[in-house]
Amino acid sequence: MVALSRGFFSDRSPGRGLITTATNSTPPGEITPVVGEKKSGSALATTCVLSVTAAIGDTLLAWAYSHDDNFVSIVAASGVAGGFVFRSGVGTHLKFYEGYVTATMTGVNVTSTYSSNSGQSFIILPIRGAYNRTLTFFDPNALIPVTAGPNDSTGQNLNISTTNPRSFLVYACAAKGPLVNISDPAGWTGIANTGYVLADLASWYKIVNAPQSVLNVNPTTSDAHETSSLGDGINGRL
């Protein structure tokens, strides 16, 4: 994994709500996301498989998208004893899950499954860092997770609000076709874009050091069909 800034993510307990505190000290006002090996893929099949490497205590963020609204599940062959937990979605096509890594994963297959082979895309991002034990994994703001679409012109446009002063924001956008010339939202860092012509899926993250109030996320694209999106916030340490 590569540390991108100073003081943020670490181990989370298998209890799925409690967070263990980090052993390193963090200067006030700073956070350190540690981002692992990004994986993305697409397939004209009923499954899309990614080979994932992650350490114990990592959390796997996973986005799956189906052209024909037929997503079924995300399953790891090993290493995620509690399974992937659903967080949010748009219909049965765009889904966001998280999975806590309980055993070292080295090239472990993680499979997203669909009920038909209409075209699928799949992205996984492992993260780790330092959390306050009293916090839940996701920011408690009632306005997130937030979703938009499907809509040709407004499906990529949404607002994210957070309560915690330090957050790791995530955003994903998908379309039933290519996201032609899609731009990076201002201030966001790209995770992956599958670029799949039948079911394009792209995701980004943003680090913030203050609560966010209706932060608008609206990447531009010259052409997209039935675009859907979702946004969320993950707690950083206080």
Cα–Cα distance, 95 to 123 (Å, whole number): 11
- Pair 203, 65: CB distance under 8 Å: no
Burial class of 164 by CB neighbour count within 10 A (0 to 12, 13 to 18, 19+): buried
Whole-number pLDDT of residue 131: 53
Cα–Cα distance, 146 to 154 (Å, whole number): 14
- Pair 125, 182: CB distance under 8 Å: no
Q: How confident is the model at residue 137 (pLDDT cuts 50, 70, 90)?
A: confident
Cα–Cα distance, 202 to 97 (Å, whole number): 15
Cα–Cα distance, 179 to 169 (Å, whole number): 21
- Residue 223, pLDDT above cutoff 80: no
Residues in the chain: 238
Whole-number pLDDT of residue 135: 62
| Average pLDDT of the chain, as a whole number | 81
What dihedral do alpha carbons 220, 35, 49, 182 form, nearest 10°? 10
Record the tokens describing residue 192, joined without a space. Answer: 């992956």
**What would the pLDDT profile of 82-113 be if each residue is shown by its tens digit?**
999 999 999 888 999 999 999 999 999 999 99
- Residue 215, pLDDT above cutoff 60: yes
- Pair 131, 22: CB distance under 8 Å: yes
Name the nearest CA neighbour of 35 among 63, 65, 59. 59
Name the nearest CA neighbour of 41 among 74, 77, 69. 74
Q: Which residue has the higher pLDDT, 153 or 218?
A: 218
- What per-residue string of b and e applies to 220-230 under the rule 16 or more CB within 10 Å gives b? ebeebebbbbb
Whole-number pLDDT of residue 90: 93
- Torsion 72-76-81-87 (CA) sign: negative
Pick the range with the lowest mean pLDDT from 57-61, 66-70, 80-84, 157-161: 66-70
**What would the pLDDT profile of 169-193 be if each residue is shown by its tens digit?**
999 999 988 888 888 998 999 999 9
Average pLDDT on 115-123 reads: 89
Q: Which residue has the higher pLDDT, 28 or 90?
A: 90
Q: Which residue has the higher pLDDT, 44 or 12?
A: 44
Cα–Cα distance, 208 to 12 (Å, whole number): 20
Distance of CA 50 to the CA centre of its chain: 15
Whole-number pLDDT of residue 179: 86
